[in-house]
Structure 1
Amino acid sequence: MRHVAIVGSGPAGYYTAEACQKQFGDQVRVDIIDRLPVPYGLIRTGVAPDHQSIKGVSRRYEATALSDNVRFVGNVTVGIDVTIAELVGLYDAVVLATGAPADRPLGIPGDDLPGVVGSAAFVGWYNGHPDFAGLAPVLSGPGAVIVGAGNVALDVARVLAKTGAEFTGSDIVGHALDSLGAASHENITILARRGPHQIAMTPKELGELGHLERAIPHVDPADLPPEAEDAALEPGLRKSVTHLRNFATLDAADKPITIAFDFYAMPVAVEGDGKVERVIVERTAIDAEGRANGTGETYVIPAALVVSCIGYRTPPIDGVPYDAKLGRFANDEGRISPGLYAVGWARRGPTGTIGTNRPDGFMIAEQIAVDTPDDYGKQGRAGLDLLLRDRNVDVVTFRDWQKIEAAEIAAARDGSPREKFTSIDAMLAARGN
């Protein structure tokens, strides 16, 4: 019997558990450990609340979680309640599937002013993550600036621009819905260091901006390359650029909110008297290697809110080798040290889609099969249970989570699938006895 502990219950964690089941059959016991009392990680608190079809993948993870040889061990913080060294001593393999939940800093003067937030925090706020429920972003003032050229930037812009009615069917949390309903930003600017041909925005997400009730996307035609150059792009990017070309033909005066794409632009400072009031932007030019370099030409964008969507980092864990430059655990194709592995964003950095984690999980399961004998004689979950009991850790099971979920569904407003609890205490209370 192999005993496997997976730290993190997001897509990478559950895909790895599924892969271990397929690799070892009934000769494996998998414990999925998470510091929150609720599972699914990025699916619950990272995917946009109005993208319910994507969140539906959690049903696949639920099937894995309800298997006889997989269990959820929630409300357990690795590094506090149990150490990595202790887990390695208890399990044949320990897999870090913690994702990359920490924002990369902007790294410019003024990036610590009130009103500057990272996308992980902002997305966590409107998705009900307990760490960010009290964020209170500035939703009034001269405008909002979003830094980044990927889908997260589009999610933030779309959420800022939508009316309350447009969130029908979503699971955006009540405190965010109320605050956004009172928002008064008329100008939302998306800053991209490079040009339309270098974006990481997908066609579906871009297309959504063209169907908002009170907001209209705008692209300066001067920022668009000659249309003939689109032919060299891969098909998905070509479709995205087609959306941008369409946006350049729209009349920004048709609706009260403008979502302006500002290409060849990078923020160099955030300024204000004790809070964000403006962003200093430098015009860029792309060199032969495709890098964006400042030209020295600067201008000012008035703003009360700056949301940085420039990437994520995996937080370090004591005792685990860490690659600070890449913002992930140091590993060789998933192997960190004997008995310790990384998977998903914790392994490769914040790249790829949710589905990219599935082959990642199967690769790690195969490595575990090569690296470990059929039976190390380790204690596995029995040893973990004893340790956590001795430390009075209040463990949340998957059955407990189902009670929490049922309470969230029962509390849902009309047209919403659930109203998420936004504090750990409330989650634990909903679990009952």
Structure 2
Amino acid sequence: MTQQGVRWTADQVLALAPDAASRKAGSRLGAAGPWSEAGSSEEGTLWGLCKGSGSKPYQTVIDIADAAGPAYKCSCPSRKFPCKHALGLLLLWAGGEGAVAAGSAPDWAEQWIAGRRQRAQEKRTTGVAAAGSGDPEAARRRAERRAVRITAGATELEQRLADLLRGGLAGAEQAGYGMWEETAARMVDAQAPGLAARVRELGSIPSSGPGWPVRLLEECALIHLLDQGWLRRERLPGGLASTVRSRIGLPASADGPPVRDRWLVLAQYDTADSRLTTRRIWLHGVDSGRSALLLSYGAAGRAPELALPVGLELEAEVSAYPGTGQLRAALGEQFAPPAPSTAQPPGVTTDQAAARYGEALRDDPWLDSVPVTLDRVIPTPDAESWQLADADGGSALPLTAAVGSRPGLWRLVALSGGAPVKVFGECGHRGFTPLTAWPEGAGEAVRLC
């Protein structure tokens, strides 16, 4: 990626944009017109001066070689990362050989790059020192105090669920959302954010459409199961106990053995609420066949720092988090810069995808979905929504309800044109959510989300 001639596509660049407005504005700056003194280095640095509304051009510099994705610095006043100038410079560079000349970075760009890499090295050194200087006994006492609070919260939640069922589910519709928000706040006080999140979901189910009592009862059962798992965690197998702690919301470290592989970036998408933006990046190991989920977070209104556009391949180590059936991992050492790839993960049928989700539920009953690549499926409308049908006969998977309102569905339909496609997405009890697709045969990945 950082060498001349190995470049991203425009779609991979635009996948970094924090919002649609930034994509549109950055696309307008992806031509040579507004740029001067643009250049690049073999070390993975881009720089340039972009003409703006003021008398002085904006100084834009990008470090593409960072393991966590590109880092940006621009003298413009924008609070978005990357700003439209950074996106425009990346698009200019992605346009082809000669669009951004190779050379030596100017002083203003070199100072930022050198300072940034020095700070990164100091942070790694400080982190190693801090890891060895903690007080294990104090940490143990803090963990015990938190466990006591969570146990009290889980016990209280069990009582509230029992009261709900004793009074009948119809009472939930009359009580409104306030009852659940107050209960969720109690779980936050108990330092069980995972329980709090699930309780808030309960509040959105009553009056949500036909069949809501069934959905409410199902979610209550899952919360009850999680409560009981925590209250009886000493009797659980080690892996399942770790899964329960993770679902409750206890922090954990990626302590699994590092797995070195060539990892394909299959999907990247963000979800946001009023407090936090969560970025999910799905990886597929070419040699190991393993799936890995990278999570990163940004404060409200800011994109997370980790960015790996779809279609890249990187040789790196990843380490798994604890828990039976858990796919979350941490990105470790990178051995080569990420580069565009036309490789594709192997696919399965829709029947095999459904079976894979069923098997995963044995290890993690609270699992919403699993990553699956479907081979040779055709997007087909049915009576109420859309589904992905096996091109060679057999069954079909319904798409999740939210997909119907996304432009990615129409990109998928246009890519297929009635012909089979390969689709990567998340398969769960609500249906299949397509995230990335490839046309029949060889071809670049098309991002759907």
Instruction: Work out which structure has the larger RCO, using CA pairs closer than 8 Å and 6 or more positions apart in sequence.
Output: 1
TM-score band w.r.t. shorter chain: under 0.3
TM-score (structure 2 length as normaliser): 0.21
Give the structure with the higher percent strand. 2
TM-score (structure 1 length as normaliser): 0.22
